[in-house]
């Protein structure tokens, strides 16, 4: 997938488990209610050098405890939206 506008939305894509992005200019990625796990998200955003906003609200396979890993994978991230609260 190539993103031209800087925005990619995959909301409510319950069958999404693998995501390969070639979007160095992507700034916003929404994965709300997707069935993707943290490792797949990390792999997808590795080459997104301008990504500032990641929305993973209601993603059952993504733990809020691993948000720091996502920030390490993509240092340009400024905002990560997650609806889950760590225990």
Q: Could you read off the pLDDT of 6-59 as tens digits, one per residue? A: 777 776 666 666 677 777 888 999 888 888 888 889 988 888 889 999 999 988
Adjacent-strand bridge partners of 9: 30
- Asked if 49 contacts 69 with a C-beta cutoff of 8 angstroms, the reply is no
| Average pLDDT, integer, range 51-70 | 88
pTM score, whole prediction = 0.81
More confident residue, 18 or 1: 18
According to the model, what pLDDT value does residue 40 have?
87
Both tokens assigned to 55: 């929305």
Backbone dihedral angles phi then psi of residue 48, each to the nearest 5 degrees? -95, 80
Q: Where are the domains of the chain?
A: 7-81
For residues 77 and 20, give the distance between their C-alpha atoms in angstroms, rounded to a whole number: 18
* Mean pLDDT, range 79-84, rounded to an integer: 84
């Amino acid at each position: 997938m190539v993103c031209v506008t800087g925005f990619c939305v995959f909301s409510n894509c319950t069958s999404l488990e693998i995501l390969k992005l070639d979007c160095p200019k992507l700034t916003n990625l929404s994965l709300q209610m997707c069935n993707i796990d943290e490792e797949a998200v990390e792999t997808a955003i590795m080459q997104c050098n301008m990504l500032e906003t990641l929305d993973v609200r209601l993603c059952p396979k993504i733990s809020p405890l691993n948000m720091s890993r996502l920030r390490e994978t993509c240092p340009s991230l400024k905002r990560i939206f997650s609806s889950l609260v760590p225990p």
